[in-house]
Amino acid sequence: MAALENKGVSRRDFLTGAAALAGGLAAVSAIPAAAHAEEAGVIGDWAADGSKAVAVAPSKDTNASASDGTYREHDAAAFPANDATAIEPRKVPDAWDYECDVVVVGAGGGGLNAAARAAELGASVICVESMASWGGNAQSAGMCGILGGYSKQEEKRFAFPSYPFDPKALTDWAMDEYHYAADPKLIYKIACEGGHSLDWMADCGVKWRLGEVPVYVAPKNSTLDHHVLKMKDATDAMYDYGVSKGVEFIFRCPAEALVQDETGRIVGLVAKQDFQHEVYIHASKGVILTAGGFCNNKALLDRYIPTAAMGCASSYLVGGETGECFRMGLGVGADVSGFNSSASFDGGVDWQAEGGQWARFLYDGMTQLSRQPWLTIDRAGNRLRYMDSRVGEDGANAIYALGDLATIQMVPPGHRSYIIFDANYEDHLAGFAQEHCRKLITPDLEQIDKVPEHYRDWHHGVQDAIDADVLKRRDTLEELEADLGFAKGVLTDAVAKWNECCEKGEDDFLYPMPPEWLHAITTPPFYGCRIGGNLYGTKAGLLINDQMQVVGTNGLVIPGLYAGWHTAGGACGENSYIGDPILGSLMGDVGLAFCGGYLCGTSVIDNEF
């Protein structure tokens, strides 16, 4: 296996020997191969009888949703939001339906922590959630990252960027990575409190997997995939803790508007209980918005994150992220932070171009197949660099490949890239040996139950794509060239040059593929697919200060209004496809939500009581 010196890694090389875990589904984390004693060259045991042959069942109509709402139906009605207009606040009613000190919007990772923390500190709390259960997007996540300040890190004598942990040093590093486009006071707050929030969650009953700490120091030749934290377990524990502290949860109750009094203070919320009856909830001390960003609201993406709207080929199928909280903030005059900043994975498959939907389940066979090191070109036929996710000598930098490659795939003309391979593609997959979120989905993966049953065999997703002509299968390269929209000769010339390299066994590209990945494209049928990024988080959001208070366009705090991530922005810089560092935030995507909720729950008590 080639070591990572072939990657040409960036200035982040000093991460050698340490890694922060970042957002992603635990379903992609594999049990060590030795546990299955697989035959060399076989990717998983996907056939019931253990053979290599697979009978692919007919495609299903939907990504079947779990009864508890973990997955939503894969149809257009599940994503109705396409509106960037502000949601105007309501006036104070003559009578309130509910009374509390604090109301929290959203029962995902951030909302659960905000509600539990505020209740623990003495507030009466109501938490409304549009879905039928708690957990939100966090319940399908698999990783939580922390770069410093967590007590258990002392056992590994680890901190970043140096030991012992220094939040100022971490802030300096992060601001440099963000090109000084973020709020240093807010970054410093995360650095100081991020580790404390994980200690607090542990005290509340969250048991990190196998007793491991939620920070990982990568020894050589190891894989991060085996150190995944089960965020579903964490959300369950935080829900139980919130209930024990008196939080009243109201499910199937989406927020509709903020309530603002004549002084400009936010004093409550209008929600639609059971999706039918409007209720007015009086929150005398504050409202906390934590119900996510706007990954599935194309109008908001076009206005605030145009690079994501253009470059990302798809958005992963989530429980929310349609932007209502953001729009409610706009309605009361909130400013916006993190313009044009998003977080993306590589391998977004362009279903929309073929009449499909923008939102897709993040891990299916076609997505995984598109993340492998095939011949990848832009519309002019130019080769594109591939970022290796094999751990090799350094487990730290490999994780960056997931996000950095998304940028590479989105920046060419037309904001699309193209993967090309031939009929022998399945013979090459074992040799690619990609890790992290690039593993093919097979029934032997850990937490495979989080994947819709239909997609637990990667072949099913690939067949879906072929049937929809998203993955184009053609008898000749000329047909494939025309049907993918290339000018005549562009694809055929690129393939000819690629085949010459394969025949020589040496890649002449500026960022060469290792010899074992050079597979000529000669055997029909030929396959091609449009790809871009796979949007998994918007990093633009309501402007907040280091107290998590929402700030208006006049520069003043909007009284009584708080926001956690990902409703809030400011945790990463401007103009970033990926929102680095660590695939979208200082703590990894899910970790930031948990931390933000903890900070919101603490700050509302500090400032309002």
- Can you give the pTM of this predicted structure? 0.84
Decide if 321 is inside a domain.
yes
The whole-number pLDDT of residue 452 equals 76
Q: Give 38's pLDDT tier (boundaries 50, 70, 90).
A: very low
The CATH number that applies at residue 449 is: 3.90.700.10
Same domain, 378 and 444: yes
pLDDT per position as a tens digit, 171-218: 898 888 888 888 999 999 988 888 888 889 989 998 765 344 444 433
The whole-number pLDDT of residue 355 equals 84
Q: Range with the lowest mean pLDDT among 158-172, 359-373, 463-477?
A: 158-172
Instruction: Decide if pLDDT at 425 tops 50.
Output: yes
Same domain, 503 and 565: no
Same domain, 392 and 304: no
The whole-number pLDDT of residue 140 equals 66
- Torsion angle of C-alpha atoms 497, 498, 499, 505, degrees rounded to 10: 110
pLDDT per position as a tens digit, 64-73: 333 333 333 3
Alpha-carbon distance of 253 to 258, in angstroms, equals 14
Decide if 23 is inside a domain.
no
Segment 466-490 mean pLDDT: 96
The whole-number pLDDT of residue 419 equals 97
Mean pLDDT over the full length of the chain: 80
The whole-number pLDDT of residue 330 equals 97
Alpha-carbon distance of 77 to 114, in angstroms, equals 30
Domain boundary among 512, 535, 558: 535
Instruction: Decide if pLDDT at 533 tops 70.
Output: yes
Q: Residue 89, preceding bond cis, omega within 30 degrees? A: no
Residue, of 118 and 442, whose pLDDT is higher: 118
Same domain, 423 and 324: no
pLDDT per position as a tens digit, 521-532: 999 999 999 999
Q: Domain count for the chain, please give it.
A: 2
Q: Range with the lowest mean pLDDT among 120-124, 130-134, 223-227, 525-529?
A: 223-227
pLDDT per position as a tens digit, 253-283: 999 999 999 999 999 999 999 999 999 999 9
Domain boundary among 484, 515, 535: 535
The whole-number pLDDT of residue 216 equals 44
- Torsion angle of C-alpha atoms 437, 439, 442, 446, degrees rounded to 10: -50
Decide if 43 is inside a domain.
no
Same domain, 277 and 408: no
Using DSSP, state whether 136 is helix, strand or coil.
helix
Decide if 96 is inside a domain.
yes
Q: Give 463's pLDDT tier (boundaries 50, 70, 90).
A: very high
Decide if 387 is inside a domain.
yes
The whole-number pLDDT of residue 344 equals 85
Instruction: Decide if pLDDT at 604 tops 70.
Output: yes
What angle do helix axes 589-608 and 109-120 make, rounded to 10 degrees?
30
Same domain, 239 and 387: no
Decide if 281 is inside a domain.
yes
Cross-strand partners of 314:
534
The CATH number that applies at residue 277 is: 3.50.50.60
Within 8 A by CB and 6+ apart from 583, the residues are 22, 23, 24, 343, 399, 400, 402, 403, 589
Same domain, 189 and 307: yes
Instruction: Decide if pLDDT at 374 tops 50.
Output: yes
Same domain, 185 and 121: yes
Same domain, 416 and 275: no
The whole-number pLDDT of residue 142 equals 58
Strands 342-349 and 526-538, bridge-based pairing = antiparallel
Segment 87-104 mean pLDDT: 97
Residue among 387, 380, 371, 396 at smallest CA distance from 458? 371
Alpha-carbon distance of 475 to 527, in angstroms, equals 9
Same domain, 330 and 374: no
Same domain, 215 and 95: yes
Decide if 57 is inside a domain.
no
The whole-number pLDDT of residue 579 equals 55
Q: Give 55's pLDDT tier (boundaries 50, 70, 90).
A: low
Domain boundary among 515, 535, 555: 535
- Tell me the residue range of the domain where 354 lies: 348-535
The whole-number pLDDT of residue 402 equals 80
Decide if 125 is inside a domain.
yes
Segment 216-238 mean pLDDT: 56
Same domain, 572 and 588: yes
